[in-house]
Structure 1
């Protein structure tokens, strides 16, 4: 049986606007090591809200979230931030790279924040991630010198720098053309199949979703059965 990386128990969330509006209802799911999972559904169905809860960036919800067997409820914000930085990597639709820093420095940032390694080792690790994504020749460039697809590969390298248990993506191919979307998909597939990386990707791209190992479909704040 594969190692369980993330688990939820009856997660629900409501907004008060000014009356209560339920956006997530009784979410129960499990993610194991090496799974490549997509989350699909119409706009407004709760996909991104769920992702922000699973990523610990939103802590205002009912129910329980376990990451690597540890319950997030009752943790202080510094404790949650530490777990987030150590266990989770993020890839968004927009890369959020900092143009005042080089590509290499951008990749280094989460590891510098975590403080697990010395700066020289972090630099070497960052360079190795860029090599793996065929971006090493661009290490000293600024992000504004790169194409959209290249920026997203740098964002993936940044997400990988701390060797997270899980990489989460919010529409990571949504801003890319077909060719670069395919490159990003192949990178994710290799991470899952060759390195045992767990990936949870929110996407509107049905072609992308059909090729992942499992698809979670959402509607009106709920997960539809069956999962496949």
Structure 2
């Protein structure tokens, strides 16, 4: 049995505004190491709400979330922040790069924050990840001097800097043209197949989802398949 990286057990979520509305219902699934999974469904079906819970950013839910076999329930915020920085890499629709810094410094930031390796080693790791993605030549450019597709690749390199257990993406190709969307998909597939990187990606793009290892389909706050 492959290592289980993430497990959701009977997760339920309510919004309390002003009355209780159930937005996630009995969510159960496991994610194994090296799996490349797409979470799909219509707008408003609960995909992003689920991702906030799975990423430990939302702790107001019923049920249990395990990351790397450790329960995230009732943990102090400082521990959850450490888990987010060390065990989860994030890639969003918008890259959220800091334009005043170089590409290299942007990739290094989560590694410097984790403080697990000396700065020189973090820099070496950042260069290595940029070269995995074929953009090491951009290292010394300011983040605002690279194209949209390149920015998203920089964001992926940044997500990889701390060797996360899992990369979570929220519509990471939603802002890209077809060519760059293809490029990002190929990078994700390569990460899963060559580096055993686990990926859980929320997407509206049926073509993207169809080529992942597995699709988690959501409707009205439930997993339907």
Give the TM-score, by structure 1 length.
0.98
The Cα offsets for residues 166-210 of structure 1, whole Å up to 9 and x where unpaired, read as 000000000000000000000000000011010000000000000
Q: Distance in 2 between matches of 1:191 and 1:20?
A: 41
Task: Say if 2:38 is the partner of 1:38.
Answer: yes
Aligned positions of 1:80-91 closer than 5 A: 80-91=80-91
- Superposition RMSD on alpha carbons, in Å? 0.6
Structure 1: 5+ residue stretches without partners? none
Give 1:221 shift: 0.3
Q: Which residue of 2 aligns with 1:10?
A: 10
**How far apart are the structure 2 equivalents of 1:207 and 1:74?**
38
Output the CA distance in 1 between the equivalents of 2:13 and 2:33.
Answer: 27
Is residue 121 from structure 1 mapped to residue 121 from structure 2 by the alignment?
Answer: yes
Structure 1 stretches (4+) deviating beyond 6 angstroms? none
Gaps of 5+ in 2: none
Aligned length: 225
Q: Which moved more, 1:34-43 or 1:137-146?
A: 137-146
Tell me, in whole angstroms, the C-alpha distance in 1 between the residues paired with 2:61 and 2:84.
17
Q: Is 1:175 aligned with 2:175?
A: yes
Mapped to 2, the partners of 1:100 and 1:21 lie a distance apart of 42
> Secondary structure in 2 aligned to 1:134?
coil
1:21 corresponds to 2:39: no
1:83 deviation in Å?
1.2
TM-score using structure 2 length: 0.99
The answer to whether structure 1 residue 57 and structure 2 residue 57 are counterparts is yes
